[in-house]
Amino acid sequence: MRDKILIPLQIGEPQPVDMLARRVKATEAEKPALKALSGAFDACIQRATIRLGTLPSYRLRTNNRISEGLADLYAGDITYGQFAKLMLFEGERDQIDRQQLDEEIRSRERWKILHDRDGF
């Protein structure tokens, strides 16, 4: 499996070109490993939620898309290359969403400072 999927699954990690180009679907022999990988991914999400509290909505969406991608891979609906592309795209989208949220928080903090200082 490690030659077909970057393990551990990490959002935003570059995907090697050979993984992006892989046009094969999961075999029956690989499905138990995919199921275990999906379970480990879900367990990581649960642990992060316990340690950090509710995750931001953009991260929940990303995690859901990755879980759906693993299910599609398991079902034979997509190839390993399509899954690698999903990971690449979702990682990029997740990073953009995180940056937008960070900018919104900074903007609100600036407005709060102005409000507190000038009595708006």
- 3-class secondary structure per residue, 56-115: CHHHHHHHHHHHHHHHHHHHCCCCHHHHHHHHHHHHHHHHHHHHHHHHHHHHHHHHHHHH
CB-based contacts of 21: which residues, under 8 Å, 6+ apart? 81
Cis amide linkage into residue 8, ω under 30° from 0: yes
Question: Tens digits of per-residue pLDDT, 28-43?
Answer: 999 999 999 999 999 9
Q: Would you kindly state where each structural domain of the chain is located, as residue ranges?
A: 17-118
Q: Give dist(CA 35, CA 66) in Å, integer.
A: 13
**pLDDT of 118 higher than 80:** no
pLDDT band with cut points at 50, 70 and 90 for residue 110: confident
Q: Which of 115, 98, 112 is closest to 55 using CA atoms? A: 98
pLDDT band with cut points at 50, 70 and 90 for residue 11: confident
pLDDT number for residue 14: 86
Q: Evaluate if pTM is beyond 0.95.
A: no
